[in-house]
Amino acid sequence: MKKKIITTMLATAMMAAGAINTYAANPLDGYDIMIYDQTTPAVFAAGKDWPITTWYFYDQAHNIIGSMSGKDSLTIAQQYESVNPDGRWEFWFPKVFNDYRGLDNSANSVLTVKAEENEVSSAEQWAMEVIKLTNAQRENHGLPPLEVDVELMKLAQTKAGEVSTKYSHERPDGTRVSKTHGCGENVGAKKSAEKQVTSWMSSEGHRTNLLLERYQSIGVGCYQAENGRTYWVQIFRP
């Protein structure tokens, strides 16, 4: 049976080179954190099911080495959004978890960077495939193709990660892209780019967005959660 290890982080003073370094609060302090492995670095964090009830910490071999409630993870994400503007919580939380256990994050920084680079590369390819299929649908209906907008691509990718934890047009901070950026938005969770675009075309509301003549540019985000589920966000701008 996995044993829950409860650690209490105490402020300490350490003398080094004539200076005193005091303990800084960790974002996980005060929350019910389950620790199954005290020494192995975490490199990824994600939920398994929807709605997410538990947020898991994984090591490089994909073993679960810790967990916390999904509700607490959302609360922390909202509180620390300003220090993690890209919304890449799957990589931010492991670093915080490592620090919470007193581990040095530099030891696994290379592994984390490689994992993130591979994920971003695949996500960009899948996102471009959605754009290609979207423009094909528009051209089939006598509409001009949409131009790729770098700003919208970044926004859509961030939103795709958010959708993996909160499947909604509403963002974790309570805002909506349609109001803050004046953009149209489609959200989905199909297994492939082709199935996702087909699904959007089969839904009246999503189809209207995709074929709206006044839209001129597009951004698409693709995020694959640890449980294998893929989330898509499509953002349009006039």
Output the tens digit of pLDDT for each of the chain's 238 residues: 333 333 322 223 223 333 333 345 899 999 999 999 998 898 888 776 656 688 888 887 778 899 999 889 889 988 888 887 666 788 889 999 999 998 876 645 444 444 444 444 467 788 888 999 999 999 999 999 999 998 999 899 999 988 988 888 988 888 898 888 889 999 999 888 899 999 999 999 999 999 999 999 999 999 888 777 889 999 999 9
Q: How many CB atoms lie within 10 A of CB 210?
A: 25
Whole-number Å distance between alpha carbons of 203 and 189: 14
Q: How many CB atoms lie within 10 A of CB 234?
A: 30
Sheet of 230-237, strand order: 147-148, 217-224, 230-237, 184-188
- Predicted local confidence at residue 51, as pLDDT: 63
- Predicted local confidence at residue 21, as pLDDT: 35
pTM (2 decimals)? 0.51
